[in-house]
Structure 1
Amino acid sequence: MKKISVIFGTRPEAIKLAPVILKLKQNPDFDCRVCVTAQHREMLDQVLEVFGIVPDTDMNLMQPNQTLGKLTSRAIEMLDKYMADEKPDIVLIQGDTTTVFCAALAAFYHQIPVGHVEAGLRTGNIYSPWPEEANRVIASRLCSLHFAPTETNRQNLLNEGISAKNIFITGNTVIDALFLALDKIKNNFVEIPGLSPAVYENRNGKPLVLITGHRRESFGAGFESVCHAISESARRFPETDFIYPVHLNPNVQEPVLRILKKTGLSNVHLINPLPYLPFVKLMNISTFILTDSGGIQEEAAALHKPVLIMRDTTERTEAVNAGTAKLVGTDYNLIVENAALLMNNPAELEIMSKGSNPFGDGRASERIVDICTRFFLNQEGSLK
């Protein structure tokens, strides 16, 4: 059996790697070992519980008020020891977090090959998203296998000199996870904590807008602008529920609570971050979504939910090109105007809702496991 270490630390990573882990554990050729840095803690644990995944190693490395520099240094030190002790035959990482960068570097130091799930996403701006764009670019230089969700991602890697023989278009594993979650929701009643069932059950066509926001580059004036735009939109459309699971970061909590809570608008619902299944349920019943999240842009396309992207750049340009998403940044006027357009213009809402899903068919995990199998079957250590 070949030992595959799957290393991750955040909620989005856990969601996107869960279907890969489940496929690996079904394969008798692999000894799949799960290592979490716990860069997120409670939010990570919730996802692991949903998919029935128990980590073999839990580094629990986060500390209060930890800077990126301190997080990086602790992660490198702990992952270096992990590589030395565990000696995996290959490491799998996902996405663009500090955990991804550090795991790729630690594996490189031990000359262990790395497979990068969700490889090749780029904005071309090293500071947006920050620090994720840099994490992705650096990780790509250190990886042996690049699992690109789309042809655009593949082309990005080719443009950077990555060998075509090591790039594989797989689709995005977030769609695999989403389909698994939808099956669970269909077969079970899922409560949404913090909301009365009257808000999310039997809505009979009443509009619902889901909001998320957490990007570091928006902290300060950007978040204040977003909050004022949400307030104005809620004031204009009192029959629409605006639901905002507020990220726990104090840089998000402070402006959101200061600006939105004091409005007293009964159709603005500020709740705690949601576990994965209730969040998927909320996405599935929403009219459209306001977000700065990358993964939600992909999930929303599969659910045929229009997205207004509250960022200046996106590494998921496929969603914009497919017509399922629009970039509005943190600009007050753009957010208010585009939200109103979707509210007032059913034809525009329908056009965005019917855009194609460019991110996969739910079989990305299956393809990744197959590629790993072929990687080890080749005695040269590289794929043909």
Structure 2
Amino acid sequence: MDVMLLAGTRPEALKLAPLALAMEAHPALRPVLVHSGQHAGMVEQALAPFGLVADAWLDVPPRVTGGQAELVAGLLPALDDVLRRHAPAALVVQGDTTTTLAGALAAFWLGIPVVHLEAGLRTHDLTAPFPEEGARQMVSRLAALHLAPTLGAAAALRSEGVARQRIAVTGNTVVDAVLEIAARDLPARDTALALLEMEIAEAGERLVLVTSHRRESWGEPLERTLAAVQLIVAEHPDVQVLFPAHPNPQVRAQVEAALGGLPRVTVTDPLEYPDLVRALRLASLVLTDSGGIQEEAPTFGTPVLVLRDVTERAEVVEAGCAWLVGTDTSRIADTAARLLSGELRPAQVGNPYGEGNAAALAVAAIEELLGVGAEQHKHAAAS
């Protein structure tokens, strides 16, 4: 049976990659990776470290306005076409992007079961994160199978009326991904990161990793975050800051204006995934508004300051691995100081998003959905 895995952004591809690898080794299920084209180049980059390439690319008209309506209008006919041609037994969508919402709609209209990877995350505030919270909730209304990363996510789904038998708690496949890449211990490919790593080792310094990419962080919130970074550098002479900046020209200009030329601050292009994993392992502290990094950093015991007012990943805060600080300059700088001084310490409780077996558990749930039993295993093995 073909199971289509749909990715349009780097985070989607990273979280689908372990599932694709698990299916490649399966006797009865065959993964078909489809690139929606939402973020051209980024999906390919994310899949490459896992030895994966997309099996199909959607034929979507070039975007002019960059708006959500334009993207959905281009995606839906292309998705309808690829689903009709491949006729998969199920479509797996991940998370909360426009690709995810459009894919769920197109499959639902064709009667193809929708499997929602990373289901049940909620802030219960449609404005934060926007538009992701709305996309997540809408996909939950259409999904035939909900692969929830945590018990809390499963409880959120049940409270919305989703039947228990349609939910499987699997952990998050990003933990599978980060463990696989970390085990390879690849040297840094990014020149700036490689030089920074040598400087830190020679001088006995500490690394603070900063990322900020969400649309609601742009402008004034980012300005406050950048002011906090300036304070952290000024108050901690043994700290080096690494800031992989968002490719949006306005965001990059804002980061460069605030941090460019500042001693002990390195601004780079977005890092390839193995380099990001390396930076997470090296870091003494992470400041981020990224959902993925909130899930990845606890694997290495790296404390996280979440640069958002609310997070749909409450487990990481409740476990004592992260602190929700918003974008208030003083609060960011003060909490960072307490962590860097050792006054605050992250709880060493392991990763609340799993142990690296999420893909195997997800495949087992998909088997059950599709009725892949022992006889089909036997037949597939024999053929």
Give the shorter-chain TM-score range. over 0.9
The residue matched to 2:197 in structure 1 has which SS? helix
Counterpart residue number, 2:36: 37
The Cα offsets for residues 99-151 of structure 1, whole Å up to 9 and x where unpaired, read as 11000000011010011111000011011111111110000001000000110
**How far apart, CA to CA, are the structure 2 residues paired with 1:157 and 1:221?**
34
The residue matched to 2:93 in structure 1 has which SS? strand
Superposed counterparts of 1:234-313, under 5 Å: 234-261=233-260, 264-313=261-310
> Is the deviation greater in 28-37 or in 281-290?
28-37
Counterpart residue number, 1:382: none
**How far apart, CA to CA, are the structure 2 residues paired with 1:117 and 1:227?**
33
Contact conserved, 2:208 with 2:242, CA < 8 A, in 1?
yes
Counterpart residue number, 2:74: 74
The residue matched to 2:193 in structure 1 has which SS? coil
Q: CA RMSD in A?
A: 1.7
Counterpart residue number, 1:12: 11
Contact conserved, 1:149 with 1:359, CA < 8 A, in 2?
yes
**How far apart, CA to CA, are the structure 2 residues paired with 1:298 and 1:34?**
23
The residue matched to 1:238 in structure 2 has which SS? coil
Shift of 1:190: 3.2
Shift of 1:196: 4.6
Say if 1:251 and 1:77 are closer, same or farther in 2 by CA, change over 3 A: farther
**Unpaired segments ≥5 residues, structure 1:** 380-384
Contact conserved, 1:117 with 1:146, CA < 8 A, in 2?
yes
Shift of 1:64: 5.4
The residue matched to 1:373 in structure 2 has which SS? helix
Say if 1:244 and 1:233 are closer, same or farther in 2 by CA, change over 3 A: same
Say if 1:17 and 1:214 are closer, same or farther in 2 by CA, change over 3 A: same
For 1:22, the aligned partner's letter is L
**How far apart, CA to CA, are the structure 2 residues paired with 1:235 and 1:64?**
42
Superposed counterparts of 1:18-167, under 5 Å: 18-59=17-58, 61=60, 63=63, 65-167=65-167
Shift of 1:254: 2.4
Say if 1:281 and 1:196 are closer, same or farther in 2 by CA, change over 3 A: closer
Say if 1:159 and 1:203 are closer, same or farther in 2 by CA, change over 3 A: farther
For 1:197, the aligned partner's letter is L
Contact conserved, 1:48 with 1:54, CA < 8 A, in 2?
yes
Equivalent pairs, count: 371
**Unpaired segments ≥5 residues, structure 2:** 374-383
**How far apart, CA to CA, are the structure 2 residues paired with 1:273 and 1:290?**
15
For 2:3, the aligned partner's letter is I
The residue matched to 2:346 in structure 1 has which SS? helix
Counterpart residue number, 2:380: none
Picking from 350, 370, 373, the partner of 1:376 is 370
Shift of 1:66: 1.1
**How far apart, CA to CA, are the structure 2 residues paired with 1:229 and 1:81?**
48
Counterpart residue number, 2:313: 316
Picking from 346, 352, 357, the partner of 1:352 is 346
> Is the deviation greater in 87-96 or in 351-360?
351-360
The residue matched to 2:354 in structure 1 has which SS? coil
Contact conserved, 1:116 with 1:147, CA < 8 A, in 2?
yes
The residue matched to 1:195 in structure 2 has which SS? helix
Shift of 1:38: 2.5
**How far apart, CA to CA, are the structure 2 residues paired with 1:110 and 1:159?**
28
| TM-score normalised by L of structure 2 | 0.93
Say if 1:203 and 1:299 are closer, same or farther in 2 by CA, change over 3 A: farther
**How far apart, CA to CA, are the structure 2 residues paired with 1:199 and 1:378?**
48
Shift of 1:370: 1.3
The residue matched to 2:189 in structure 1 has which SS? coil
Contact conserved, 2:96 with 2:132, CA < 8 A, in 1?
yes
For 2:50, the aligned partner's letter is F
**How far apart, CA to CA, are the structure 2 residues paired with 1:193 and 1:315?**
34
Say if 1:5 and 1:341 are closer, same or farther in 2 by CA, change over 3 A: same
> Is the deviation greater in 325-334 or in 199-208?
199-208
Counterpart residue number, 1:221: 220
Instruction: Quote the sequence identity (%).
Output: 37
For 2:333, the aligned partner's letter is V
The residue matched to 1:191 in structure 2 has which SS? coil
